[in-house]
Structure 1
């Protein structure tokens, strides 16, 4: 039991601050990923390789850590969302799979990851992450969800024709419905958590595109570097102002 409690201190308590930082981190993943692949002209494949390396190092450090470290946790989250951005763009654009095809493949991969995790560990609740194996499932699932969110956000904004602001309203509205379901229904909290976790990524993706895409395409044409720096500062300030506590162990 002591080992379980120690492991669980690496997972933050799910609060309003958690969701605010999560949305900012996913938005940063979009602007940061585009900064490397587009502004620096490294391309989607090379950028994916770079971010995948950062992600691997961050995950290993996170799993080996003995206690919850907010900075390390959010660095790992940001790593998943940046590599998710470039990986989805590589599959959708360079490989020609398209947003719809990419979203479908990633959705199946995400559901498969959750199914294997549940079958292996008995639960996909973040309150039961008490071993390196459970943590590995957690981060793999997050990786799939971040990549799916990029493809889904791009499909909604571009192919479906809703634009960045329209897509943001759609995903924001879906998140509001999840909040309502949380407070007024008995729907599984684990299901609602993962639904919200997944939806914050396309919301961040279209918000990031809104910030840095050309005005002619419905964006604000902000510098990707400037937007990324501003988002990093916002996340750091939130971390400094609001103390994040570890999630409680499931009994």
Structure 2
């Protein structure tokens, strides 16, 4: 192993994209939905205040992530959870408080996500997670993730609500789409970077509809669990996974 290879691996601060990565991503996005709703709805703080709270947590987490000298699973997944909670309240604020509806919110957030990826690619030459090994690339990475999480929330709500599929139907749709992405990964020559971001985006609406399924009333097709109970259970599950299934840092591109 060359010195250059070792150094690149040492300073990579994102995890390998493995099965446990996707399990934790779905759990984190589901937690983001239940925790975001707990603050904005159960605590009656509203979407704007909830967004301000989680945006502050997101900023602190991103700073900690960027300042870290190596990959730390707890810091990384705390930042992911922060992006998904702020994504939940921000999407709800755009969809409902701004009055543009799920379709308008989804369209706006999709445009912002595409703009983020475009600027990132024009600036750094790649949007592959293998190149996230500098503070500048990390900033693009986390801004893009925040937009993808927010888009996923709006898309999940749109599918379950406006499209009339319900929470179970929405979960089935996004599970099928994720299976199609997995098939494309193993059976086609489609860019791995494109497939990664497609899967990353699709896991968020899956988490959104699963989160809504857990805490929405029985009359609305949910399980009527307490948002606090669901959030606590998901947090315990995430911590157990991190402890029992250690992750390695991704190998950086040279």
TM interval, shorter chain, is over 0.9
Alignment of 1:64-143 (within 5 A): 64-143=67-146
The alpha carbon displacement at 1:184 in A equals: 0.6
Identify the residue that residue 225 of structure 1 maps to in structure 2. 228
Query: Structure 1 residues 133 and 3 mapped into 2: Cα distance closer, same or farther (>3 Å)?
Result: farther
Runs of 5+ unmatched residues, structure 1: none
Question: Which TM-score applies when normalising by structure 1?
Answer: 0.98
Q: Alignment partner of 1:228: what SS?
A: helix
Contact 2:167/2:209 (8 A) holds in 1: yes
Alignment counterpart, residue 7 of structure 1, candidates 11, 15, 20: 11
Distance across 2 between alignment mates of 1:118 and 1:5:
22
Q: Alignment partner of 1:14: what SS?
A: coil
Distance across 2 between alignment mates of 1:113 and 1:51:
20
Question: Which TM-score applies when normalising by structure 2?
Answer: 0.97
Runs of 5+ unmatched residues, structure 2: none
Identify the residue that residue 180 of structure 2 maps to in structure 1. 177
Distance across 2 between alignment mates of 1:109 and 1:193:
18
Q: CA RMSD in A?
A: 0.9
User: Is 1:61 aligned to residue 77 of structure 2?
Assistant: no
Identify the residue that residue 162 of structure 1 maps to in structure 2. 165
Tell me the alpha carbon deviations over residues 141-191 of structure 1, each in whole angstroms, 9 at most, x when there is no partner.
000000000000000000000000000000000000011111110100000
The alpha carbon displacement at 1:6 in A equals: 3.4
